[in-house]
Amino acid sequence: MVPEPVEGVPELVEGLEEASAFAGVPDGFQRLWTPHRMAYINTGADALRGTGCPFCAAPGKSDADGLIVYRGVTSYVLLNLFPYNSGHLLVCPYRHVATYDQATPEEVAEIGALTQTGMRVLREVSRCDGFNIGMNQGAVAGAGVDEHLHQHIVPRWASDANFFPIIARTKALPQLLGEVREALASAWPA
């Protein structure tokens, strides 16, 4: 059954049905369909399912496949597969340690230096206004991968705060991960 035409509302394309004709109760939420994101969801699920630590696996991949922006001596920088904002970087030691107090003085120094460089590169490339920087130590503290130390560098803009994530549980990201990785890696000092 096709609903009666409503003045000011375009007619349906032949063969399509109005959403209100389907089963279910309307919930007041708008839907932002982003099927291209399934590539990241599937990749992330595979990386976390039975293949070991994703931060130990990443350095064995090409920079593009591992989302690696820079490789240092004791630590490296990569993009977060599930970013809070475009350009969300992670700084990880190559060595599999869980917490900051287990890192060597050399790892601590390089993590700090790479964090500073990451901030400079993000500021240059993305013109961000500020940063959230931090480490979640352990699952109880919110670490998604709690067995491998990693520091977050999240670029922030004056206009990036909105109710989308809070109300719709949706994060809108304007650039694909590969494009962001390429821009940051190209701007990283040699």
By annotation, the residues acting in catalysis are: 150
Find the DSSP H helices in 58-169.
63-66, 105-126, 164-167
Task: List Cα–Cα distances, 31 to 51, 114, 144, in angstroms.
Answer: 33, 38, 26
- Give 103-111's long-range contacts (Cβ < 8 A, gap of 24+): 103/149, 104/74, 106/73, 106/74, 107/74, 107/75, 110/72, 110/73, 110/74, 110/75, 111/75, 111/151
Q: Measure the CA–CA gap between 64 and 45, rounded to whole angstroms.
A: 18
Cα separation, 173 vs 140, whole angstroms:
27
Rounded CA-CA distance 167/19 in Å is 22
Please enumerate in sequence order all residues whose Cβ is within 8 A of that of 107, keeping only pairs 6 or more positions apart, or say none.
Answer: 74, 75, 93, 95, 97
